[in-house]
């Protein structure tokens, strides 16, 4: 748990930035209601249709997502208040006056708050950012205390990214202290933009550079956000033509990509899952750790079919959300030592790969 600025007591919050695809929304829909209030997801929307609104309406009680429609045209269909489901608007510094007014209406209609998304690679701190923030508050009729600031660091996939990003984020967080934000979160994407060239039929370890960035920013007292099991840069959809599971552990992901040779898809995915559930990083609580872990164990026991890329994303994301929430709500000393119910790596089977190496290979 991270304290907020000033004397306010902060709620324990994890703010993942997720695509509004079926896999990610299914993972959110299976969250335990006891932990749902600890999560504040930001959904990046690329299309608006009835299915999206329906899935948003099925989320657990206490889980109110923030929705970013900045990639969509500024039309009545993208006005969040028209969707009829509780959401929090995500506001960028360059929004049109009309959209700011619409976001303000949505904020007052539902949670009486908004998320201001500041992109580290695009937005600058200082007078320009202050002017843009004041414009947001004026047109949306909000005050800083109603706004959660999300500092989006983008992709951090290698040591060079980390060295470049850390000072930039520190400047933005220092600027943020001029205002009484409801909370300040730093989010980054640590998954390489592509995993297509990783070896198949063996687990491959990738460093979670986004997590390392947040640990290096611990002195700033900011909350944690990431991009789930997807890269920050748009493009690749998690899961490709090979059955793929991206499994989160302490400071790393284990990527399982299995070929379809030597058997049917169901048989190959069952073999993938058997390899996973016998690995040192499988949780000590097993299938009870998350809905995703339960589904993966079912496949290991041949209790169900292989599923689809959307299913693989859903199960991977479900485990990831549970893992990060558990990590953020346990003492920092235990987190560093790896002593907790989520499992501890006792070895590193398979070929180790760093995110930077994968990025160059892709």
Q: What is the pLDDT of residues 195-253, one digit of tens each?
A: 888 999 999 999 999 999 999 999 999 999 999 999 998 655 544 578 999 999 999 99
Decide if 5 is inside a domain: no
Domain of 269: which CATH number?
A: 3.20.20
Decide if 12 is inside a domain: no
Domain count for the chain, please give it.
1
- Place 349 in a pLDDT band, splitting at 50, 70 and 90: very low
In the prediction, which pLDDT does 240 show?
A: 59
Decide if 300 is inside a domain: yes
Decide if 4 is inside a domain: no
Decide if 50 is inside a domain: yes
3-state secondary structure the chain: CCCCCCCCCCCCCECCEEECCHHHHHHHHCCCCCCHHHECCEEECCCCCHHHHHHHHCCCCCCCCEEECCCCCCCHHHCHHHHCCCCEEEEECCCCHHHHHHHHHHHHHCCCCEEEEEECCCCCCCHHHHHHHHHHHHHHCCCHHHEEEEEEEEECCCHHHHHHHHHHHHHHHHHHCCCCCCEEEEEEECCCCCCCCCCCCCCEEEECHHHHHHHHCHHHCCEEEECCCCCCCCCCCCCCCCCEEEEEECCEEEEEECCCCCCCHHHHHHHHHHHHHCCCCCCCCHHHHCHHHHHHHHHHCCCCCCCCHHHHHHHHHHHHHHHHHHHHCCCHHHHHHCCCCCCCCCCCCCEECCHHHHHHHC
- Place 275 in a pLDDT band, splitting at 50, 70 and 90: very high
Decide if 355 is inside a domain: yes
Decide if 8 is inside a domain: no
- Place 184 in a pLDDT band, splitting at 50, 70 and 90: very high
pTM for the whole structure: 0.88
Decide if 11 is inside a domain: no
Which domain does 46 fall in, by range? 17-361
In the prediction, which pLDDT does 348 show?
A: 39
């Amino acid at each position: 748990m991270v304290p907020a600025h000033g004397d306010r007591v902060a709620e324990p919050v994890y703010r993942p930035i997720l695509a509004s695809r079926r896999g990610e929304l299914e993972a959110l829909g299976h969250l335990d209601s006891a932990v749902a209030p600890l999560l504040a997801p930001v959904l990046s929307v690329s299309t608006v249709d009835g299915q999206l609104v329906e899935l948003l309406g099925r989320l657990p009680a206490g889980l109110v997502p923030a929705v970013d429609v900045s990639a969509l045209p500024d039309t009545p269909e993208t006005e969040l208040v028209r969707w009829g489901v509780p959401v929090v608007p995500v506001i960028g510094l360059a929004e049109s006056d009309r959209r700011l007014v619409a976001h303000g209406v949505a904020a007052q209609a539902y949670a009486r708050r908004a998320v201001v998304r500041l992109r580290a690679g695009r937005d600058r701190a200082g007078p320009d950012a202050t002017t843009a923030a004041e414009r947001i508050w004026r047109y949306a009729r909000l005050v800083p205390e109603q706004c959660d600031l999300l500092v989006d660091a983008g992709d951090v996939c290698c040591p060079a990214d980390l060295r470049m990003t850390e000072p930039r984020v520190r400047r933005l967080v220092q600027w943020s202290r001029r205002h009484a934000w409801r909370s300040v979160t730093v989010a980054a994407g640590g998954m390489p933009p592509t995993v297509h060239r990783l070896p198949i039929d063996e687990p491959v370890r990738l460093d979670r550079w986004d997590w390392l960035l947040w640990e290096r920013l611990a002195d700033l007292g900011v909350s944690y956000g990431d991009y789930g099991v997807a890269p920050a840069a748009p493009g690749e959809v998690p899961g490709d033509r090979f059955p793929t599971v991206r499994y989160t552990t302490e400071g790393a992901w284990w990527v399982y990509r299995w070929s379809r040779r030597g058997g049917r898809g169901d048989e190959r995915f069952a073999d993938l899952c058997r390899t996973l559930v016998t690995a040192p990083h499988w949780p000590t609580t097993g299938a009870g750790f998350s809905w995703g872990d339960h589904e993966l164990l079912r496949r290991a026991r041949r209790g169900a079919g292989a599923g689809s890329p959307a299913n693989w994303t859903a199960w991977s994301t479900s485990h990831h959300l549970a893992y990060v929430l558990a990590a953020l709500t346990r003492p920092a000393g235990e987190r560093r030592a790896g002593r907790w119910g989520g499992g501890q790596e006792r070895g590193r089977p398979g070929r180790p790969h760093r995110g930077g190496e994968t990025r160059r290979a892709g």
